[in-house]
Amino acid sequence: MNYPHPLLAREGWPILIGGGVAALVVTLWAGWAWASPLWLFFVFCVQFFRDPPRQIPVGEGLVVSPADGRVIVVEEVDDPWLKRRALKISVFMNVFNVHANRSPLDATVKQRWYTPGRFLNAAVAKASTENERNALWLQTPDGKDITCVQIAGLIARRILCHVDAGAVLERGGRYGFIRFGSRVDLYLPVGTEPRVTLGEKVSSGSTVLAHLV
């Protein structure tokens, strides 16, 4: 789940191969003018499915961002999964961000929940409760509980999660992918110290979102 792994995410290989072959065939049979939209789509997919290496911070209690994007929520709320008060930090991904999802900390997956739903704009608040989503209950070695939720968006309609209950994750380890624009919500124990502010741009696996105390 950590490097080495392909610079282009394996989740995108079928789309990249199909798009590249289609563009090449149309180019050979009909010329560049007809094929140009297909080549533009192929180039877009290459940038969308890029999956660069990240420098993972080292330090006790550090919670790294599970996604690239922009922080849109930092507030205390009710965790709908573990039924408790929690610090919620949400990261919104647009179509130009890297969409590989990484574990926010060293943890064991205690449970996984998948909920079908709508495909509203992932930046709006009700996306957390109405959109298609995949939630992981993560527990740290010292017993702290975190909920990490992948949420589909207006364009993103495919959540991929490669782990299930019992999996052991490392901070910054790659565990999933969301295709084409979405968000990730983190629910952290009350008392956790946030290290980011609204509107801040963050990078998966390398930006510290919070510190568990």
The set of catalytic residues is 182
Query: Distance (Å, rounded) from C-alpha 203 to C-alpha 97?
Result: 9
Distances (CA, A) of 31 to 38, 46, 187: 12, 22, 52
Cβ density class 25-57: b for 16+ within 10 Å, e for less: ebbeeeeeeebeebbeebeebeebbebeebebe
Strands 107-115 and 201-202: unpaired
d(CA 183, CA 126): 12
Tokens of 123: 């930046």
CA distances in angstroms from 129 to 28, 37, 100, 106, 118, listed in the order given:
48, 36, 22, 26, 9
